Chain A
Amino acid sequence: MSLLDYFKTKKTNTASIAKERLQIIVAHERTKRDQPDYLPQLQQEILDVIRKYVPIDQDQVQVQLDKNGNCSVLELNVTLPD
């Protein structure tokens, strides 16, 4: 290995990239963890009903379930096109 190669193979810190990626995906998956299993299907069915009347995309319906003590709030956010 030449001296030039030695300088060229200076390794990038891939561990920090790994950590950053993990922190993002783990945080994302944790928010989904507490949601009931029926939520994705609920979202799909609501989408289908709205589509009967207005053409909208998948990402224009947001369904979220929040828990405050013993009370759960189902938040539905639909963005209708103009």
Chain B
Amino acid sequence: MAKIIVITSGKGGVGKTTTSASIATGLAKSGHKTVVIDFDVGLRNLDLIMNCERRVVYDFVNVINEEANLNQALIKDKHVEDLFILPASQTRDKDALTQEGVERVLNELKERFEFIICDSPAGIEHGAQMSLYYADEAIIVTNPEVSSVRDSDRILGILQSKSRRAEMGLEPVKEHLLLTRYNPARAETGEMLCVEDVKDILAIKLLGVIPESTTVLSASNQGVPVILNDESDAGAAYRDAVDRLLGNEREHRFLEVEKKGFFKRMFRG
């Protein structure tokens, strides 16, 4: 049975697209047929993050309007097997995503994939609501910062009242917290909300903590999801998160300041 997972946050710029790219890549790398859909109509960027921007011919809205079929619109990822990308349209018509159209496309994708990752746009408007409506699970991407935490709580409220599962009285959408851009040193000195603080406030299960890392920007510069970088802490944290999503136990890492040895301090700064 295919699983639909929405990557959402309410607030913009917290790492939804970065997370969508890495989680989708990680799931496919673990051998699961995965498709990742960009719901950000008008401001598509997943294609750029996944380095397929020059291969976009047809998009999600073309498929909804039956101007193209799925085979024509799906882009096969070049980094991993079993991964496909469905890019957003650049149209400015934000009502292009009709509920019936989205449902039809998702049903068709369910036949072919194990995981359907929906990259939500920021905000709580139509596009964001469409991206979460059919979700079975939700990954709430949150930064350890007041506005992001508040918006995450708002999105949780919407998941609990406006999703299909909520409206039909089915088992609720499974919620996962993914804390990104985490800086253990600043959390330790009380400059930044710590993992426990955010967990206390949002009261949902922690899927992972992605440490703030320069490798995240260099990954998007190159269009290679950071999860594929074996030397990056952020990449390792995403790999752990994917494992947890697949039901495996993984201890949380990178929550505390790395104790630097004498030599590391002298030579690596």
**Which residues of A come within 8 Å of B, CB atoms?**
11-16, 18-19, 21-23, 25-26, 29-30, 33-34
Contact = CB atoms under 8 A, between A and B. Distances in A.
Contact of B194 (A15, A25, A34): A15
B191 A11 contact: yes
Nearest to B144: A15
Interface stretch (B35-43, B95-103, B127-135, B147-155): B147-155
A26 B149 CA distance: 9
A54 to B, nearest CB: 36
A33 B150 contact: no
Interface string B182-196: 000001011111100
B11 to A, nearest CB: 13
- Size band of the B side of the interface? 10 to 19
Interface in B186-232: 187, 189-194, 197, 200-201
Contact of B146 (A13, A22, A33, A34): A22
B195 to A, nearest CB: 11
B171 to A, nearest CB: 19
A82 to B, nearest CB: 40
Given A11-B191, A15-B193, 17 more contacts: A11-B190, A15-B187, A15-B190, A15-B191, A15-B194, A16-B190, A18-B193, A18-B197, A19-B200, A21-B146, A22-B149, A22-B150, A25-B150, A29-B150, A29-B153, A29-B154, A29-B157
Interface of B: 145-146, 149-150, 153-154, 157, 161, 187, 189-194, 197, 200-201
A33 B201 contact: no
A26 B201 contact: yes
B194 A18 contact: no
Nearest to A12: B190
A15 B197 contact: yes
Contact of A14 (B149, B190, B194): B190
Return the 10 tightest CB-CB contacts between A and B, nearest first: A13-B190, A33-B157, A19-B197, A15-B190, A26-B153, A15-B193, A22-B201, A18-B146, A22-B149, A18-B193
Contacts of A18: 145-146, 193, 197
Given A22-B150, A26-B153, A30-B153, A11 B201 contact: no
Contacts, number: 45
Given A29-B153, A30-B153, A23 B201 contact: yes
B184 to A, nearest CB: 12
A16 B153 CA distance: 18
20 contacts: A15-B191, A15-B192, A15-B194, A16-B190, A18-B145, A18-B193, A18-B197, A19-B193, A19-B201, A21-B146, A22-B149, A22-B150, A22-B193, A22-B201, A23-B200, A26-B153, A26-B201, A30-B157, A33-B157, A34-B161
A48 B147 CA distance: 35
Nearest to B161: A33
A76 to B, nearest CB: 24
Contacts of B192: 15
A11 B190 CA distance: 8
Contacts of B189: 11
Contacts of A14: 190-191
